[in-house]
Amino acid sequence: MNENSCSFHNEKELRDGQVESVSAGCPPPCDEDNSALLAFSGIPLPLQISELKNHGILQALTAEANGWEPAVMNTEVLRAQEEWEAVDSIQPETGSRASSDQPGQLISFSEALQHFQTVDLSSFKKRIQPTIRRTGLAALRHCLFGPPKLHQGLREERDLVLTIAQCGLDSQDPMHGRVLQTIYKKLTGSKFDCALHGDHWEDLGFQGTNPATDLRGAGFLALLHLLYLVMDSKTLLMAQEIFRLSRHHIQQFPFCLMSVNITRITIQALREECLSRECNRQQKVIPVVNSFYAAAFLRLAHVWRTQHKTISDSGFVLRDLEVLAKKSPRRLLKTLEIYLAGVSKGQASLLGAQKCAGPQAPPSKDLTFTGVCDLPPHSSEGTWLI
């Protein structure tokens, strides 16, 4: 009995000794976590936080686990966790141009037009003169032989067009910025936004670094016309061809300034009721005005290329274009229809782009451009900077 008892106690002591030795060789759970934390001590803080999250240690240290609460690392780890969780809430600084309208997104003509249809333009509308005032024989001649008057139901749409022409470019308006960005991207093929002021606007044919200074006499309607030109798949091809012609090493001209002048001609044709017949026929004003603008630009480009015009001829070419446009608007519109039909069928352009190909000169800042507002009535000579 004593031998058995001794044997039992010896075996128990042996087992207890093995358990104690095993326990002595293994650190407690908290030591294991501490050793893991020490392993990250040489890593930069952001990487430490990431690794701690990946290993589940951060969560373990910031919550009670089996009644154990870390004493030394608790405050530091909590602070690290707060910094990590704050990363997702940090927003990039975008400056004054930030808006919910996403300035980097292209804008369509209809979206830009809708903007003007919904905002209050009453202060600008007061400035418009819808029609030319005629007196004496001029009024009698216009009454007897002139174009028909615009239908009453279309006059509000006409007034909207003329009111937009009174609006300037506001760099603080996100929609205005998107219109500029869209024009720039479509003409240059760039996928990136550009600054609203800078030398890159001179590359497009504005006279200075701020497009707003070149809209005299046409207002924001000039930019809407450019937007219309580049956002329609058919007229975009025409716009790109004219843009290439404007960069010809000999026949170069400021593309956007020329466009602004054609918008001026369009405004005058509308006010002089030259477009009334076509507007009455289509029961629309804005589509007719847009088509007339595009047709006039197409005509100018055709004359410019085929007659080998240069920048010194700009004022005279625009003056002749204005006379033709007011006298035969239907002829211009028909030419545009033929061109667009050819584009849809994949036929060669009326501009003969293959003949325009050649060295392209960088836009010259020394070009002297004459616009339609710069030549006195019935003048046939003279050149002034717009």
In tens, the pLDDT along 30-51 reads 455 555 545 545 555 555 555 5
What's residue 104's pLDDT? 73
Q: What is the 3-state secondary structure (H, E, C) of the chain?
A: CHHHHHHHHHHHHHHHHHHHHHHHHCCCHHHHHHHHHHHCCCCCHHHHHHHHHHCCHHHHHCCCECCECCCCCHHHHHHHHHHHHHHCCCCCCCHHHCCCCCCCCCCCHHHHHHHHHHCCCHHHHCCCCCCCCCCHHHHHHHHHHCCCCCCHHHHHHHHHHHHHCCCCCCCCCHHHHHHHHHHHHHHHCCCCCCCCCCCHHHHCCCCCCCHHHHCCCCCHHHHHHHHHHHHCHHHHHHHHHHHHHHCECCCCCCHHHHHHHHHHHHHHHHHCCCCHHHHHHHCCCHHHHHHHHHHHHHHHHHHHHHCCCCHHHHHHHHHHHHHHHHHCHHHHHHHHHHHHHHHHCCCCCCCCHHHHCCCECCCCCCCCCCCCCCCCCCCCCCCCCC
pLDDT at 276 over 50: yes
In angstroms, the CA 48 to CA 37 distance is: 9
What per-residue confidence (pLDDT) applies to 24?
47
In a domain, 311, yes or no: yes
**Average pLDDT score over residue span 92-100:** 38
Inter-residue contact 192 to 249 (CB < 8 Å): no
pLDDT at residue number 201: 93
Decide if 322 is inside a domain. Answer: yes
Q: What does the pLDDT read at residue 76?
A: 62
* Range from 88-102, 170-184, 368-382 that averages highest in pLDDT: 170-184
Helix ranges restricted to H, 213-285: 220-231, 233-246, 255-271, 276-282
Pick the closest to residue 301 from 354, 244, 345 (CA basis).
Answer: 244
Q: Which of 98-112, 135-149, 211-225, 363-377 has the highest mean pLDDT?
A: 211-225
Residues 328, 274 contacting (CB under 8 angstroms): no
131, containing H or E segment: none
H/E run at residue 64? none
**9 part of a folded domain:** no
Task: Return the top range by mean pLDDT from 22-31, 142-151, 229-238, 374-383.
Answer: 229-238
CA 132 to chain centre: 35
Residue numbers of the domain that contains 207: 109-345
Average pLDDT across the chain, whole number = 76
Instruction: Give 45's contacts (C-beta < 8 A, 6+ positions apart).
Output: 80, 83
Measured distance CA(314)–CA(361) in Å, rounded: 18
Flag whether 301 is in a domain.
Answer: yes
Gap between the Cα atoms of 347 and 360, Å rounded: 24
Judged against a pLDDT cut of 60, whether residue 126 lies above it is answered with yes
Q: Kind and range of the H or E element at 359?
A: none
In this predicted structure, what is the pLDDT of residue 345? Answer: 78
pLDDT for 382 beyond 60: no
Q: Is residue 146 part of a domain?
A: yes
User: Is 382 inside a domain boundary?
Assistant: no
pLDDT tens digits for range 222-263: 999 999 999 988 899 999 999 999 999 899 999 999 999 999
In this prediction, residue 53 carries a pLDDT of: 52
Whether the pLDDT of residue 304 is over 80: the answer is yes
pLDDT score, position 342: 85
Sign of the Cα pseudo-torsion (232, 237, 243, 245, in order): negative
Encode pLDDT of 163-209 as tens digits.
Answer: 999 999 998 899 999 999 999 999 999 888 889 999 999 999 998 89
**Reduced to 3 states, what is the DSSP secondary structure of residue 335?**
helix
On whether residue 42 sits in a domain, the answer given is no
pLDDT at 147: 78
In 28-179, where do the E strands start and end? none
| 59-63, 219-223, 378-382, range with the lowest pLDDT | 378-382
- Percent of the chain residues topping a pLDDT of 90: 49
pLDDT given at position 84: 55
Rg (CA), the chain: 37
Reply yes or no on whether the pLDDT at 348 is more than 80. no
Query: Does 78 reside within a domain?
Result: no
How many independent structural domains does the chain possess?
1
